[in-house]
Amino acid sequence: MKYENVIVDEPGRREFLLGNEAIVRGAIEAGVGFASTYPGTPSSEIGNVLFYVAKKAGMYFEFSTNEKVALEVSAAAAASGLRSMVFFKHVGLNVAADAFMSTAYVGTNGGMVIISADDPSMHSSQNEQDNRYYALISGMPMVEPSNAQEMKDFIKKAFEISEKYKLPVLFRTTTRVNHVRGIVEYGKINRVKREGYFHKNPAKYVILPSVARRMHMELLEKLKRVEEETNNSELNRIEGNGNEIGIITSGVAYNYVHDVVKELGLNAKILKLAFTHPFPKELVKEFISSVKKVIVVEELEPYLEKETRLVAQMNDINVDIYGKLNGYFPRAYEYNPDVIKDALEKIMNIKIERNAYTPEEISLPPRPPILCPGCPHRATYYAAMMALKQLKIKDAIITTDIGCYTLGIQKPYEMADYLLCMGSSIGTAVGFSKSTKQKVIGFVGDSTFFHAAIPGLIDAYHNKANLVYVILDNRTTAMTGHQPHPGLPVNGMGEPAPYVDIENLVRGIGIDFVKTVDPYDVKETIKVFKEAIKHEGISVIISKRECALLWDARRRKQGEWWIYEINQDKCTQCGLCSDWLACAAIFKRKDKDGKVRIYINDALCDGCGVCATICPFNAIDKKVIR
C-alpha cells in the first residue's frame, strides 16, 4: 500500500518524511478519529496521504466540498467527543472564517486542531496573508512548528492543549515546513476513538446572541489560563546562552537563525517559540531583560515583534529591539539564510563573507509554469481562441478561476482577464455582463465549480445575465495533486461514492443551453463555442476530458506508450502547432544547415494527438514506443 511507512506501529523508527506526511503520522499517533479538508497547496499532501491510509488507521476522512464545510463537519465530530483535524491552505481559512470564528466561542469537547498552511512568497497562492492573526481575532490558542519532526510531535501537543481547555487550536504552518522533507522519529500510536456521542447542550452549542455574550466572557477567561501555560510550555524554549544578543523566532525562520548563528559562531541565545498565542508575556519579559539587544525573526507580519515591543513598553524594559518595524527585516516573501545574514550585517555593523560564485550574466529564456503537454485545457483554450477569432470578437472579457487552467493567461491564448478567488469566475462574469456590452466568458474547473461557483451560477440565472460559462471538467482536482471531488464516484476513504452529475446540476438550476464537449475533438469544440457565444442569455459548456497526467499514469502502468512526431517531409513549418496550439512539448530549433524547424520533444510529449488533428498538412504522426 502507498504510504504504508506512515502508519507502521514501530516506535523509534526513522523515516524521511515530507512535513505534510509527518502531520498525518502525528494525527495517527494522537488517535485522531476524524479528518476533513479541501485541498490547497501547501496543505494538499496531508489529504493525499490520508486518502490512502485513513481507512487502515481506523479514521474517518473526507474531501469536503469546500473549507467551510470541512470545518463544520470537523467541529461537529469534535463536539461529539472525537479528536478531529481539519486542514487547508491559508486562503481556505477565509472561506471557513465564519464557522471558524464561532468554534472558538462554542469550544469543543474532543480535541480539535485546525491546520492553516500559509504560503509566504506565494508559490501557488493569490496572497501571502499571515494567518497567525486569525488566532488573535478568534481567540484561539496557536502552535507553530518549525520542521518535519515538530509537525508530528506538536500535532499531538495541540490535541492535548485543545482537550485541556476545550478550545480548538490553530496549527499554523508555512510552505517551507509543509514541503520540507526531514528525518522523523516515530512514537507510539494511540488507539483511535472513531465513535462519539453528542451530549446535547444548547446553552453552549447554539450560538444565539444570549449564548454568545456568555461564551465570549468564558473564552476570555480560558485565554488567561492558556497564557499561563504558554509561559511554561516545553513548546517554547531557550537555546544557548550569553547576555549580549537574544533572538526571538518561530516557525521556519528558526531554522535559518539556527544555521546562521552556528555558522558565524555568534554568542547569541535563541528563544524559540512554538506556542505563540496567547503570547507568552512573562517568558518574553524575562528573556528580553536578560540581554542587551533583541532581534525578532519571523516571516511575514511583525506579530512576535509587536507583542515583544508591548511587553518591553508595559514593563519599562529599556532594550534595543530589531525587527521589521524599524526596517531590519523584510515584511514580504519567505526568508532564507541570506535574509538573516543581511539583517545581522546591519544590526551588528559587520560584513559577512558569502563566498558565492558570480556567473557571467547571459540572457536566459524564461520558463514560466505552463499547462502540461497533453493538457485538455490547452485544447479548450485553443478552441475558444479560434472561435473568438472566427467571430472577430476582440474584446471579450474572460473571467477565470483557481486551478491549473489559470495558466490560460499565457500567450497565445490570453484567456484570463479577471480573477479574485475560488469561484469568482461566475460572480465577476455576472458583474461584467451587467455593466458592459462586451462578451463575457467565464472559465472554472470542476472542483472549483463545486467549491464556490454554484451560488454564483444561480445568481447568473436568476438575474438574467448574458454570458458563456465554461466548466473545465478534467475529472479531478488537478493542481493540488489529483484529489477526488463530489463529481467523481470515489470519496476520501477511497471507497465508491455517489457523484453529482454536473450537466444535470446545471440543468436543474433551469439553464437550458448546456453542452458537453470533448476538447480533444477540436473542430466540434470550436463549433460549440461559436454557438454559445452567439446565444443570448446564459450558455454553459462542459469541456470534459480527464487530466493528462492521470491518463498518462494509467497508460504507463499498463505499459502502453506512444508519442507524436513531425514528419519533416510534409511539415511546411507553418507554425500552427508551435505558435497557436503552443504545446510545451513542441519547440523550434535551428539545425546545422541553418534552417529553423519545428520538433516534438520525446521526453515531454504525452501522445494526446491534438497537434496532429489541427495540422493542416497531416504532418504529425503517431509513434508507438515499446
Partner 1 sequence: MSVGIVYAGVGGQGVLTASSIVGKAALLSGMNVVMSEVHGMAQRGGIVVTEMKIGEAKSPLLGQGEADIIVGFEPVEAYRILKKAHPESYVIVNTEPIIPTTVSLEGKTYPDVKQILGNMRDLHVVSLEATELARKAGNVIATNIVMLGALAKIPVFPIKKEILEEAIKKTINPKYHEMNLKAFQMGYESISL
Residue partners of 25: CB distance under 8 A and separation at least 6: 6, 7, 15, 17, 152, 184, 186
Among 365, 496, 594, 616, binds partner 1 (CB under 8 A): 365
- Under rule CB under 6 A, which residues in 594-613 are in contact with ligand SF4? 598, 600, 605-611
Among 28, 383, 571, 582, binds ligand SF4 (CB under 6 A): 571
Q: Does 309 bind partner 1 (CB under 8 A)?
A: no
- Under rule CB under 8 A, which residues in 150-179 are in contact with partner 1? 176, 179
Residue whose CB is less far from partner 1, 354 or 392? 354
- Give CA–CA dist 132/143, Å, rounded: 9
Q: Does 277 bind partner 1 (CB under 8 A)?
A: no
Quick one: which of 74, 95, 72 has its CA closest to 83?
74
Distances (CA, A) of 103 to 139, 166, 219: 10, 10, 11
Q: Does 594 bind partner 1 (CB under 8 A)?
A: no
Residue 438 per-residue DSSP state: S
Interface mask toward partner 1 for 537-566; x: CB under 8 A? ------------x-----------------
> Residue type for 587, please?
F
Q: Which does 15 bind (CB under 5 to 8 A by kind): ligand SF4, partner 1, none?
A: partner 1
Residue whose CB is less far from partner 1, 182 or 187? 182
- Under rule CB under 6 A, which residues in 374-403 are in contact with ligand SF4? 374
- Give CA–CA dist 297/331, Å, rounded: 11
- Under rule CB under 8 A, which residues in 378-407 are in contact with partner 1? 404, 407
Q: Which does 501 bind (CB under 5 to 8 A by kind): ligand SF4, partner 1, none?
A: none
- Give CA–CA dist 84/159, Å, rounded: 9
Nearest approach in angstroms of CB 421 to partner 1 is 16
Q: Which does 39 bind (CB under 5 to 8 A by kind): ligand SF4, partner 1, none?
A: none
Q: Does 24 bind partner 1 (CB under 8 A)?
A: no
Task: Please state at what angle helix 19-29 crosses helix 148-165, rounded to 10 degrees.
Answer: 40
- Give CA–CA dist 73/35, Å, rounded: 9
Query: Within 13 Å, how many C-alpha atoms sit on residue 182's CB side?
Result: 19
Among 66, 131, 173, 255, binds partner 1 (CB under 8 A): 255
Cis, bond preceding 412 (omega within 30 deg of 0): yes
CB 51 within 8 A of CB 79: no
> Residue type for 76, please?
A
Among 395, 572, 588, 595, binds ligand SF4 (CB under 6 A): 572
CB 612 within 8 A of CB 577: no
And the C-alpha cell for 448? 472549483
Nearest approach in angstroms of CB 41 to ligand SF4 is 24
Residue whose CB is less far from ligand SF4, 402 or 585? 585
Q: Which does 571 bind (CB under 5 to 8 A by kind): partner 1, ligand SF4, none?
A: ligand SF4
Residue whose CB is less far from ligand SF4, 268 or 583? 583
